[in-house]
A and B are shown apart, each in its own frame.
Chain A
Amino acid sequence: MAKEYENRELILPTKNMALAMGPSHPAMHGIVRVNAKLDGEIVVEGSVDIGYLHRGFEKSVENHTWNQGIIYTDRLNYVSAMMNNVGYCLAVEKLLDIELPPRGTFLRVIMSELSRVADHLTCVAAQVMETGAMTAFLYAMKAREYVWEIVEMACGARVTTNWTRVGGLMADVPGDFVDAVRERIPLVRDVIDELDKLVTKNRIFGDRYRDVGVMTKDEAIAWGFTGPCIRASGIPFDVRRDTPYLNYDAFDFEIPVGTNGDVFDRYLVRMFEMEQSILIVEQALAKLPDGPVSVDNKMVTLPEKADVYGSIEGLINQFKLIMDGHGIQVPPGEIYQAVEAANGELGFYIISTGGDTPYKCRCRPPSFALTAALEKMITGQMIADVIPIFGSVNMIGGELDR
């Protein structure tokens, strides 16, 4: 389409039109602005303005203690907050050189994968809604609600979870957790199947999504893609397999790759990943061991409440872990720990100079590289294709601008 348009004979001289989409535009998730220069309907030059949601995440974490920093990670990718919690805590635990007991590890895997399902559901739903499928959007929201009910059960909040702690979890999951997850998995699966039936083979979406926003393998690597977007471009890169963390080695799952690297492939990869995540959850539930969820280390984990209420040692321990300047003493050093978040590699680079606060906490947000490449992806496309392309990179403002 674009080629034909370029080669046409000009009868009337035309000028390019500047069009600013956003920062508050219904199709711009969060707040971001796309400045497009249009020649008719073709975007000849596009640029993305970011930074409208900058909250100073890195500085805030540096000004708080190790455990207080976790609440700031909730607000990175707010659809799958638990994965951010896990990533931050893994980084700090690596510095402390402690390893979680098996139950804690399994629970972290279960909740990470459930969060991934919620995140992909949201992304796919928003993407198809913007191209006209309101019903599919509502079905997906229904399924996301099932997942968030489980999240609420585990931590007491739906979005701002604050679930992990350095060296473990907030608390063990309630007794009926496993049954509740098992009960909801078929419901979520049904919705994913329905979404698949409604959208995948429908030519309206096929024509809209195919060969739009193409990123080839080399381009995807050059622009620093990770997550579903690089897999859609045909590179089987997955942090869970390439640099395993938690105990992902113990689970059997497939990594989907696309062929074209267009919007349709990103959609397919996300749909397939949801099924794989549910498979991981089922495997983890089958193997879920009993035991403690937090490490037995009095320098890191808060003591049991019975100890605090009943014994002077427990009380002193509790005070020592909370008082200013005491807290968790992380040895000096620097660490980079990445997790496979829903959008890609979410990394935390933490420098500690000893003491109870980080000296520096840098976050590598997956959305940042994807949004940077948006400029390249939308150039030469129709203005209406900007919306599906933007939907397919799943930009999350909280994570992008931090």
Chain B
Amino acid sequence: MEKRVRELKVDYGPAENIYWVEVLKGLWITNRHFMVNMWRHILHALRIKAEKGAVTFQYPEEHRPIHHRWRGRHRLTVKQNGAMRCTACMMCETICPDECIHIVPGESPDPNVEKFPEEFYVDALRCCFCGLCAEACPLDAIRLDVIEPEICGFTRDIIFNKEFLMGLNNDRPWEEWYIENKTDSKEK
């Protein structure tokens, strides 16, 4: 395609120079927004179904619909028998650009599995949630799919250990977060 150039020029005519005309036009736009949103809020208050008034979400009570591709907190997946899927191959620790994953490999108690992580720490203070660990994992053992908007909301103790990442000693197991907050975009 050839290069097309457009010269931009805005000259003010008499109407713009009067200044009030444009101010009133602007006020018309803002007031229209206000009235439309107000009307919708009134309908909501009267429990009549209407479009959402404002685009904001009343955060702690109401959550934004989050796409299922969202990269959230880490989770270690488990097999059907409840054992860890991770075999301590160290791929995630190698690719992590922030060096936030620390694994201590050991011999697995299960005779069918050779290796498993005795310790598995994720330092969420260093983590930048790039998702490279999940991409590098050859076993689908680590995922970043727990929607937890307040990872460090009330505590600074966010170096996650193995049990926490597997959802064993978590007050709120990941399934709860998953079901509550994860909205598939198709449902919207």
Contact = CB atoms under 8 A, between A and B. Distances in A.
Interface of B: 1, 3-10, 12, 16-17, 19, 22-23, 25-26, 29-30, 33, 55, 66-71, 89, 91, 94-95, 97, 128-132, 135-136, 138-140, 144, 185-186
Contacts of A249: 1
Contact of B185 (A153, A157, A302): A153
A241 B23 contact: no
Interface string A248-270: 01111111111100001100110
Given A174-B67, A204-B23, 4 more contacts: A197-B25, A203-B12, A241-B3, A254-B6
Interface residues of A, number: 62
Closest CB pairs A-B (n = 6):
A68-B97, A156-B71, A156-B69, A236-B5, A162-B130, A254-B6
A160 B97 CA distance: 14
A397 B187 CA distance: 39
Nearest to A145: B55
A82 to B, nearest CB: 14
Contacts of A253: 1, 4
B167 to A, nearest CB: 20
A198 B29 contact: yes
Contacts of A160: 128-130
A155 interface: yes
A78 to B, nearest CB: 12
- Main SS at interface, chain A: helix
B63 to A, nearest CB: 14
A333 interface: no
A202 B91 contact: no
User: Chain B CB within 10 Å — which of A170, A201, A251, A255 has the most?
Assistant: A201
Nearest to A303: B138
A155 B69 contact: yes
Contact of A254 (B4, B33, B71, B139): B4
A325 B30 CA distance: 59
18 contacts: A67-B132, A68-B132, A71-B132, A153-B67, A162-B131, A170-B135, A174-B67, A176-B186, A198-B30, A204-B19, A242-B3, A254-B5, A256-B6, A256-B8, A257-B6, A259-B8, A272-B6, A319-B89
Interface string A160-183: 101000000010001010001000
Contacts of A315: 138
